[in-house]
Structure 1
Amino acid sequence: MTTVFRKALGALPRLGVQVLDLGPGAAVVSRRGGYTATKMSGDSWMVGGKRPRTRTTADGWGLHKAAAGDLCARHVADLLANYEVNCVFDVGANKGQYGRQLRELGYRGRIVSFEPVPDALARLRKSAERDPEWRVYPFALGRSESFEDMHLGWKTMNSLLQPSAYGQRRYKRFTDTRKEQVRIRRLDEVMDEALEGIAEPRPYLKMDTQGFDMEVFAGAGRRTADFVGMQSEVAVLQLYEGSPRMNEAIAAYEDAGFAITGMYPVTREKTTGRVVEFDCVMARAAAAPSRQG
Structure 2
Amino acid sequence: MQTLYRRLLRLMPRLGLQVTDLGPGTAVVSRRGRRIRTPLGPGADLLVRNDGRYSVSDAGKDAWLVLRGRAPAAGSPAPEWTGVPLGDTGARLLIDRRADADERKIQLAAAEYLCSQHVTAMLELYGVNCVFDVGANTGQYARRLRRLGYTGRIVSFEPTSNAFARLRDAAAGDPDWQVHHCGLGREDTATSIHVGWKTMNSLLPPSDYGRDRYPRFATTRTEQIEIRRLDSVMDEALDGIKDPRPYLKMDTQGYDLEVFAGAGVRVADFVGLQSEVAVLRLYEGSPPMSEAVAAYEAEGFDITGMYPVTREAATGRVVEFDCVMMRAKSAPAKD
Match status 1:138 vs 2:165 = no
Matched, 1:105 2:140: no
Paired AA for residue 51 in structure 1: R
**Matched ranges for 1:38-117 at <5 A:** 51=98, 55=101, 59-117=102-160
**Residues 21/6 of structure 1: CA separation in 2 closer, same or farther (3 Å cut):** farther
Structure 1 vs Structure 2 CA RMSD:
2.8
Matched, 1:18 2:55: yes
Which among 310, 313, 317 is matched to residue 274 of structure 1?
317
Give the one of 156, 160, 176 matched to 2:199: 156
Cα shift readout 1:140-160 (whole Å, capped 9, x = no counterpart): 000001111110111100000
- Offset, 1:40: 9.2
Q: How far apart, CA to CA, are the structure 2 residues paired with 1:176 and 1:6?
A: 60
Shift of 1:11: 6.3
Match of 2:79 in 1: 34
Shift of 1:20: 3.7
TM-score, scaled to structure 2? 0.79
Q: Which residue of 2 aligns with 1:257?
A: 300
Separation in structure 2 between the aligned mates of residue 135 and residue 27 of structure 1, nearest angstrom? 42
Structure 1 residues 78 and 162, CA gap change in structure 2 (3 angstroms)? same
Asked if the contact 2:36–2:51 (Cα under 8 Å) also holds between the matched residues in 1, the reply is no
Contact 2:142 2:154 in 1 (8 A): yes
Residue 180 of structure 2 aligns to which amino acid in structure 1? Y
Q: Distance in 2 between matches of 1:61 and 1:246?
A: 21
Q: Call closer, same or farther: CA 1:50–1:124 in 2, change over 3 Å.
A: same
- The code of the aligned residue for 1:28 comes to L
Q: Which of 261, 276, 288 matches 1:245? A: 288
What is residue 167 of structure 1 aligned with on the other side?
210
Q: Give 5+ residue unaligned stretches, structure 1.
A: none
CA–CA separation in structure 2 for the residues paired with 1:39 and 1:88? 34
**Secondary structure, aligned partner of 1:290:** coil
Question: What's the offset of the Cα at 1:28?
Answer: 2.7
Larger radius of gyration: 2
Contact conserved, 1:167 with 1:238, CA < 8 A, in 2? yes
Secondary structure in structure 1 of the residue aligned to 2:118: helix
Task: Verify the 8 A CA contact 1:187 1:220 in the aligned structure 2.
Answer: yes
- Indicate how the Cα distance of structure 1 residues 180 and 40 shifts in structure 2: closer, same or farther if over 3 A, else same: farther
Higher relative CO (CA 8 A, sep ≥ 6), structure 1 or 2? Answer: 1
Deviation at 1:176, TM superposition (A): 1.5
**Distance in structure 1 (CA, Å) of the matches to 2:133 and 2:282:** 22
- Secondary structure of 1:76's aligned partner: helix
Unpaired stretches in structure 2, ≥5 consecutive residues: 1-21, 29-34, 39-44, 73-77
Residue identity matched to 1:172: P
Which residue identity lines up with residue 274 of structure 1 in the other structure?
A: R
C-alpha contact (below 8 Å) 1:225/1:256 kept by paired residues: yes
Find 1:126's aligned residue among 156, 159, 169: 169
Cα deviations by residue, 1:126-179 (Å, 9 ceiling, x for unpaired): 111111100000000000011111101111000000000000000000002111
Checking the alignment, whether the CA contact within 8 Å between 2:188 and 2:228 is kept in structure 1 is yes
Which aligned pairs between 1:156-235 and structure 2 lie closer than 5 A?
Answer: 156-235=199-278
- Cα gap change, 1:105 to 1:147, in 2 (>3 Å): same
Q: Report the CA distance shift for 1:24/1:271 in structure 2 as closer, same or farther (over 3 A).
A: closer
Distance across 2 between alignment mates of 1:173 and 1:156: 11
C-alpha distance in structure 1 between counterparts of 2:166 and 2:36, whole Å: 43
* Contact residue 207 and residue 282 of structure 2 kept, 8 A: yes
The structure-2 alpha-carbon separation of the partners of 1:167 and 1:253, relative to structure 1 and needing over 3 Å to count, comes to same
8 A contact 1:258–1:284 mirrored in 2: yes
Partner AA of 2:284 in structure 1: E
Aligned equivalents of 1:74, 1:257: Cα separation in 2: 23
Report the secondary structure of 1:121's partner residue.
Answer: helix
Matched positions, count: 288
Contact 1:166 1:239 in 2 (8 A): yes
1:89 partner SS: strand
Q: Structure 1 counterpart of 2:189, which letter?
A: S
